[in-house]
A and B are shown apart, each in its own frame.
Chain A
Amino acid sequence: MNNYDVIVVGAGLSGLIAAAAATAAGAKVMLAAKGAGTLTIGSGTIDLLGYDNAGRPVAAPAAALAALPADHPYGKLGLPAVQAAADFFLALCAAAGYPYCGTLAANRWLPTAAGTLKPACLVPATMDLAGTEDAAHVVVLAFAGLRDYRPEMVIEGLSRRPGFRGKHFSTAVVDAGFGPGRDATALDLARWLDSDAGRRECAEQLKKRLPPGCLVLLPPVLGTRPDYQAWRDLEAATGCRLVELAGIPPAVTGFRLRALFLAHLRRQGVAIHEQAPVTGAVVANGRCLAVVTGQPDRRREYRAGAFVIATGGFLGGGFESAPGAACESIFGLPLDVPADQLAWSEPRLLAARPQPFARFGLETDQDLRPIGADGRAALANVHFAGPNLAGYDYSCEKSGNGVALVSGYHAGTAAGEGRA
Chain B
Amino acid sequence: MTKTQAVVIGGGATGAGILRDLAMRGVKAVLIERRDLANGTSSRFHGLLHSGGRYAVKDPESAAECVAENAVLRRIARQCVEDTEGLFVRLPEDDAAFETEWLAACRALGLPAAPLPPAEALRLEPGLTPRLAAAYRVPDAAIDGFRLCWQNVASAVRHGGELRTYTEVVAIERAGGRVAGVVVRDAVSGATSTIACDLVINAAGSWVGEVAALAGAAVDVEPDRGTLIAFNHRFAGRVVNRLRPPADGDIFVPHGSVVIFGTTSAAADNPDDTAPRGEEVNALLRLGEPLFPDLPRYRILRAFAGTRPLYTGGHGAAGRAASRTFAVLDHSREGVHGLISVVGGKLTTYRLMAEKTVDLACGKLGIAVPCRTAAEPLAAGPAPGLLAAARKYFPAGGAELAAARLGDAFGAVVGRLGDDPANAALICECERVTLGEIKEVAACATTHGLGDIRRRTRLGMGTCQGAYCGFRGVAAVCAAGLADKPAAGLLGDFLEERWAGVRPVLWGTQLREQELLRGIYGASLNIDGAMNDEQL
Contact = CB atoms under 8 A, between A and B. Distances in A.
Q: A–B direct touch, CB within 8 Å, in complex?
A: yes
Interface of A: 38, 41-43, 47, 50-51, 55, 57, 112-119, 144-145, 147-153, 156-157, 160-161, 180, 183, 246-249, 251, 313-315, 317, 320-324, 326, 340-342, 344-345, 347-352, 355, 357-358, 394-396, 398, 400
Interface stretch (B19-27, B190-198, B351-359, B521-529): B521-529
Given A314-B511, A352-B528, A156 B426 contact: no
Nearest to A387: B515
A315 B515 contact: yes
Given A38-B519, A183-B425, A349 B495 contact: yes
Interface stretch (B44-52, B207-215, B366-374, B479-487): B479-487
Interface in B503-533: 503-508, 511-512, 514-516, 518-533
Nearest to B468: A248
9 contacts: A114-B530, A151-B479, A153-B474, A157-B487, A323-B282, A323-B507, A350-B527, A350-B531, A351-B528
Nearest to B500: A347
B529 A118 contact: yes
Nearest to A41: B519
Contacts of A114: 471, 474-475, 487-488, 491, 525-527, 530
A313 B514 CA distance: 13
A78 B511 CA distance: 30
Contacts of A41: 516, 519-520
A357 to B, nearest CB: 7
Contacts of A395: 515, 518-519, 521-523, 528
Given A50-B529, A315-B515, A340-B278, A350 B478 contact: no
B496 to A, nearest CB: 6
A168 B474 CA distance: 23
Contact of B471 (A180, A248, A396): A248
Contacts of B506: 341, 344-345, 357
A144 B508 CA distance: 38
Interface residues of B, number: 59
Contact of B525 (A51, A144, A246, A342): A246
B499 interface: yes
Dominant secondary structure at the B interface: helix
Q: Can you list the 9 inter-chain pairs with the closest CB atoms, starting with the nearest?
A: A395-B522, A350-B528, A315-B515, A349-B499, A116-B530, A341-B278, A395-B518, A118-B526, A150-B475
Contacts of A322: 507-508
Contact of B512 (A50, A160, A246, A314): A314
B529 A400 contact: no
B422 interface: yes
B472 interface: yes
A324 B505 CA distance: 10
A348 B492 CA distance: 10
Contacts, number: 188
A342 B492 contact: no
Interface of B: 277-278, 281-282, 285, 421-422, 425-427, 435, 468, 471-472, 474-476, 478-479, 481, 483, 486-488, 491-492, 495-496, 498-500, 503-508, 511-512, 514-516, 518-534
B519 A153 contact: no
B530 A117 contact: yes
B522 A350 contact: yes
Given A156-B483, A344-B506, A147 B475 contact: yes
Of A148, A313, A349, chain B has the most CB atoms within 10 Å of the CB of A349
Given A350-B496, A395-B519, A150 B476 contact: yes
Given A47-B523, A115-B488, A180-B421, A321 B478 contact: no
Contact of A150 (B479, B516, B522, B527): B479
Contacts of B475: 113-114, 147-150, 152-153
A149 to B, nearest CB: 8
A57 B525 contact: no
A17 B468 CA distance: 28
Contacts of B476: 147, 150
B507 A349 contact: no
Given A57-B533, A152-B479, A341-B281, A348 B519 contact: no
A161 B529 CA distance: 12
B529 A398 contact: yes
Contacts of A117: 526, 530
A246 B519 CA distance: 12
A152 B508 CA distance: 37
Contact of B524 (A43, A315, A342): A43
Contacts of B516: 41, 315
A57 B387 CA distance: 52
Given A314-B511, A315-B515, A50 B479 contact: no
Nearest to B517: A349
Given A323-B507, A348-B496, A396 B487 contact: no
